[in-house]
Structure 1
Amino acid sequence: MDLRNIDLNLLLLFSHIYRERSISRAAIKLNLSQSAVSNSLAKLRERLQDPLFTRTSRGMTPTLRAKQLSEPINQALDLIQNSLKNEEDFDYSVSDRTFIIAVEDYGEAVILPRFIDWLSIVAPNVRIQIRPEPGMTLKEELEKGQVDLALDYFVLEGKKFHNYCVMTETLLSMTRSEHPDINEKLSLDTYLKLRHVALIPRAKTMPMIDLALAKRGLQRQIAVEVPHFLSMPFMVQKTNLICTLPKRMATLYSDYFQLRLYTPPLRIPKFPVYLLWHESIEEDVGHKWLRNSLIEMCKRL
């Protein structure tokens, strides 16, 4: 069937008759006369080659064809209506919209749990899908709408991408609480003598701690490389290894695993954490509310 032959108003009329099971009640909802609704229903019956509704003692009973059409028609009408909503029409307190966020394990451990807890109170029906850490396909996924937002340490190049610094971080080192080789303060000599658990670099650039060491012509002894920060507390909890990771994450893990924290024995600049999105959703009211809420929460961390 050629869609040009179908009037959108006929589908709206179908939806109201299906829901009300009455031409007269549908007419009231649509602010039309009963005769106008009946005439429009006749047009739709002709277009679809099906009676759609039969008059019974229980009202207008839908045919099998009408039952098959009901859900996809309502979904299509909802999609059109939601797309045309103004900002004041977005009610996060009742919205059941799903948002997809790509994060490193830092965002998954430090940022999102607190944000999800807040959402459960103010927007209990909003759903969040957490995707694996941002990778080589992130630009394409954001552009196609497969990912709504991303949290990352690196900006995305290009005019179509927005990069907003939501917080800055620094590093802390962490060992088991009864480590035999460290006193109250971690010295540079001790730091270099110890064997380290290190993160496998995702980018071509050297990790920040290694850059700081390299400027002094130094290098740490890496015993184990792991893909995620989450592995590190398990590695150091029962060994004499040491790890260095973002401060907020280290503080979180030290409390949970009863580990000891140390300030790294060299000057390390703070580094940013970015919230990323594509320009195509810049004015989307749901996205705007979600990212502004996330930005405000990050300011309080």
Structure 2
Amino acid sequence: MSSIHAMNIRSIDLNLVIALAALLEERSVSRAALRIGRSQPATSSALARLREIFGDPLLVREGRGYRLSPRAEEIRVHAAQALAALKATFQDSIAFDPAGAEMEIRVAASDYLAAVLLPPLMAALSCSAPGIDLRVVAADRRSAISLLKEGAVDLSLAVAGEGAPDVLNRPLFDEGFVMVTRPGHPYHDGPPTAERFAGFPALLVSQTGDGAGVVDDCLSRMGLKRRVALTVAHFLLAPQLVTDSDLVLVIGRRVAEAARAQLGLTVSALPFPMPGFTARMYWHGSTASYPPLVWLRQIVAGLDVGLPEPPASS
């Protein structure tokens, strides 16, 4: 039997759980110390005690930093979930006051949803919870769920379907796709047909770098194929690349309308049917009743992200 199993759980200081979760996430004694508000020597002492308890080095020196040992990789998710459960347990009995709260909340978001949701969210926080700081990390439909399951973030904003059994979600808004071109693009000199659309070089947003997407699936069902001349990984970069080229971009309507206002681009309806998507908010079941996150989720769910009128067909 290992020492951790043989040890009476009552003899373990709960501060060690806090230190363990921070050390395994940050993979650095100094960053973990900053995260939990303790001195570096105290955090080093906590690491030494944890190594004794687990009978494992946990953090293994590699170059100038550390990597997790296999045992540390194994317990990382459990440590994060244990910390979240502790927070929820002890915070439930305390009235949460957003106006006086001082804390960090970690959010995973795609750049599309960050562009749509963060401006109104920050405006809401500045008024009602000025002491809450957001730490936003990039995510796609896969990592948005895995980061929650690992305890690396408190909330995910993404398009990822229903998620996982231990991950809860709430739809935020439905979005449709539109076509974005520079003003005077030759596409608009003729009838708006799928055949003419497919005849112009395309710009595709693809976080994996793949040269085909949902548009190409739709065209394929019509017996058409387009040339994807350029792929980029970021939605917010894409409209800028259209301004001085004949590239045709298909993108969600909210970001397209922002690009129209900022860059003077032309936004048009697609000349063929294409399914839209639902933006969702995700959170781990272990934080379902944690008051600060319950409050934040209510704020996010109530954000006014607008529903611009569909563009007219050219």
Task: Give TM-score, length-normalised by structure 2.
Answer: 0.65
Structure 1 contact 102–132 (Cα < 8 Å) conserved: yes
Q: Does 1:84 align with 2:84?
A: no
Separation of aligned partners in 1, 2:87 and 2:241: 52
- Could you tell me which residue of structure 2 aligns to residue 155 of structure 1? 161
Mapped to 2, the partners of 1:210 and 1:163 lie a distance apart of 29
Alignment partner of 1:109 is 2:120: no
Residue aligning to 2:224: 218
Whichever residue aligns with residue 233 of structure 1, its letter is P
Q: State the distance in 2 between where 1:300 and 1:180 align.
A: 31
Identity of aligned residues (%): 24
If you compute each CA radius of gyration, which structure gives the higher value, 1 or 2?
1
What residue number does 2:282 align with? 276
Residues 136, 84 of structure 1: alpha-carbon distance in 2 compared, 3 angstrom cutoff: same
> Superposition pairs for residues 177-216 of structure 1, below 5 Å?
177-183=183-189, 186-200=192-206, 202=208, 207-216=213-222
Q: State how far apart, in whole Å, the 2-side matches of 1:276 and 1:99 are.
A: 14
Is 1:100 the equivalent of 2:128? no
Q: Is the 8 A contact 1:175 1:237 kept in 2?
A: yes
Alignment of 1:1-301 (within 5 A): 84-86=90-92, 89-134=95-140, 136-155=142-161, 157-183=163-189, 186-200=192-206, 202=208, 207-297=213-303
Q: Structure 1-normalised TM-score?
A: 0.68
Structure 2 unmatched runs, 5+? 1-8, 15-40, 43-85, 308-314
Offset of residue 271 of structure 1: 1.4
Size of the alignment, in residue pairs?
Answer: 231
Point out the more displaced range, 227-236 or 134-143: 134-143
Matches of 1:180 and 1:143, distance apart in 2: 48
The CA distance in 1 between the partners of 2:128 and 2:198, in whole Å, is: 48
Q: What is the CA–CA distance in structure 2 between the aligned matches of 1:81 and 1:243, rounded to whole Å?
A: 45
Rounded to whole Å, the distance in 2 between the matches of 1:205 and 1:87 is 52
Q: What runs of 5+ residues in structure 1 fail to find an aligned partner?
A: 9-67, 70-79
CA RMSD of aligned residues (A): 3.2
